[in-house]
Structure 1
Amino acid sequence: MTTMTALIIDDECFAREELVELLADMEGINVIDQASNAIEGLKKINSLKPDVVFLDIQMPQITGIELLGMLDPDSMPNVVFVTAYDQYAVQAFEDNAFDYLLKPIDPARLNKTVNRLLKHEQKTHDLVQSMSPATLDQIPCVGHNRIVIIPTLEVECAFSDITGVQVKTATQQANSQLSLKILEEKTPLLRCHRQYLINVKSIKEIKLLEHGLAEIITHSDFSVPVSRRYLKNLKETLGFQ
């Protein structure tokens, strides 16, 4: 029998423990970890790659819905919402055949959900994508034993290095669990290099170099490379031919 791996993301400790106990009595599913907030949950989704995530909707700072928009559509797990909304509030999910669990969790309803996932009778991927936000207003980051939430509009650039994806503002820099692909698709950041995205409103000057290359200087005097492949698009975006 196929066994699915599961991750539980909920800011309420009691709710997580209750769900862990209920799932422990069911065959075909194994809870491999839990997270108490969306930022921690995002990190564990990326590292553990669970088959299914039981995701609370209402969490502080970043909600479950916002977390959906931060997942890579090519590798995202099945998602089951866990919500304290009453029956009428979740009707919208039910009308779209979107899976959810209502708190307090009914073991019979949970068993039905698990069986459906095991039998692949219901695929939630497309529905998750249809409900996830098209844009990200904030970017969760970690750095120096801290967690920071950076407003997207404050970002000067984002780039990848050996430590992962770095998000830089005029005053700080932190590591993000989001991929450059997600940041390019869901923020105003523009691709200017295979490893760099730039906020065009943060550009102070562009130095044109030899061989069709260029270098961006941001308002905080940070240097961002521009490759030949993306220079033309950057010029057109700024209104230059």
Structure 2
Amino acid sequence: MLNVIIVDDELPARENLRCLLENDPEINIVAECNNAMEAIREIHRLQPDVVFLDIQMPKINGIEMLSMLDPDNMPQIVFLTAYGEFAVKAFEAQAVDYLLKPVEMERLNKTLYRLHHRAPSGNINQLEGVSSDLKYIPCVGHNRIYLLNIDDVFYVSSKVSGIYVFNQANNEYFTELTLKTLEDKTPLIRCHRQYLVNLKKLKEIQFNDAGGVDIILVNDVSVPVSRRYLKLLKELLGL
């Protein structure tokens, strides 16, 4: 049994693919998503085996979304596109397959055969065609997605309620991306188990009498540094 998520901003396209997939008793559709941020959240939550992913979506397209997923928990990807020229990008991203929309049953059967007979580690961990660097961090607002430029990020904090990104005004923005993904795919540096920091915004490092260390950013916000990461931080700063 393969757990599947369908990601497409067009409802008719999702409905068509769902109806076709339901013909396969070994396919279990666990979620349908109409945008990248919703999809990232559901992929983290449900950890599907396969994601049928539309390439052309507003704000964040399928290729960009793929670069925002944790490479250590990457599902198998089947790209959906209305344009054949995107096939090259799909295979550069080491997708299992790509399907032209509207999807037809005969062509889908070939994809399903590949999925059912593919080794579990087929395209996990290696996505050579997908850029490893994020230029912005997508954050969820009320009925909108904010795209925060990496250069405008001061630090990132992991809280019980999720991952939050902070700017110069110390405003917080919620993101579906994991702390590990942000550490791996941005210039942000880990300074604490729960914090990443932009060293370009560093003003000073403070050592207190109790042996604790804090980074003071140029907006005077204090970010804690744990002993585990202090040595690395000093090396990066040439101290």
TM-score normalised over the length of structure 1: 0.89
Report whether the alignment pairs 1:209 with 2:208. Answer: yes
Q: Which runs of 5+ in 1 are unaligned?
A: none
- 1:194-220 residue CA offsets vs partner (Å, 9 max, x unmatched): 111100011122112246531112222
Q: Hey, what does 1:193 align to over in structure 2?
A: 192
Displacement of 1:169 in angstroms is 1.0
Displacement of 1:229 in angstroms is 2.0
- 1:152-200 residue CA offsets vs partner (Å, 9 max, x unmatched): 2211001111112111111321222111111111001011111111000
Q: 2:32, 2:66 → 1: CA distance? A: 17
Q: Hey, what does 2:117 align to over in structure 1?
A: 119
The residue type paired with residue 141 of structure 1 is C
Report whether the alignment pairs 1:133 with 2:131. Answer: yes
Q: Describe how 1:81-92 pairs up with structure 2 within 5 A.
A: 81-86=79-84, 89-91=86-88
The residue type paired with residue 220 of structure 2 is D
Secondary structure of residue in 2 paired with 1:19: helix
Change over 3 Å in CA distance of 1:89–1:70 after alignment to 2: closer
The residue type paired with residue 26 of structure 2 is G
Q: Which runs of 5+ in 2 are unaligned?
A: none
Secondary structure of residue in 1 paired with 2:128: helix
For these two proteins, the number of residue pairs brought into alignment is 237
Q: 1:140, 1:232 → 2: CA distance? A: 31
Q: 1:126, 1:52 → 2: CA distance? A: 11
CA contact (8 A) 1:159 1:167 kept: yes
Q: Hey, what does 1:230 align to over in structure 2?
A: 229
Q: 1:65, 1:30 → 2: CA distance? A: 24
Change over 3 Å in CA distance of 1:234–1:94 after alignment to 2: closer
Displacement of 1:124 in angstroms is 4.0
TM-score normalised over the length of structure 2: 0.90
The residue type paired with residue 208 of structure 2 is L
Query: Percent sequence identity over matched residues?
Result: 48
Range that drifts further, 229-238 or 215-224: 229-238
RMSD: 2.2
Range that drifts further, 194-203 or 144-153: 144-153
- 1:84-133 residue CA offsets vs partner (Å, 9 max, x unmatched): 122x5525646867411111212111111112212226854248622222
Q: 2:22, 2:203 → 1: CA distance? A: 57
CA contact (8 A) 2:153 2:198 kept: yes
Secondary structure of residue in 2 paired with 1:62: coil
Give the counterpart of 2:36 among 35, 38, 57. 38
The residue type paired with residue 225 of structure 2 is V
Q: Hey, what does 2:56 align to over in structure 1?
A: 58
The residue type paired with residue 39 of structure 1 is M
Q: Hey, what does 1:15 align to over in structure 2?
A: 13
CA contact (8 A) 2:156 2:195 kept: yes
The residue type paired with residue 120 of structure 1 is R
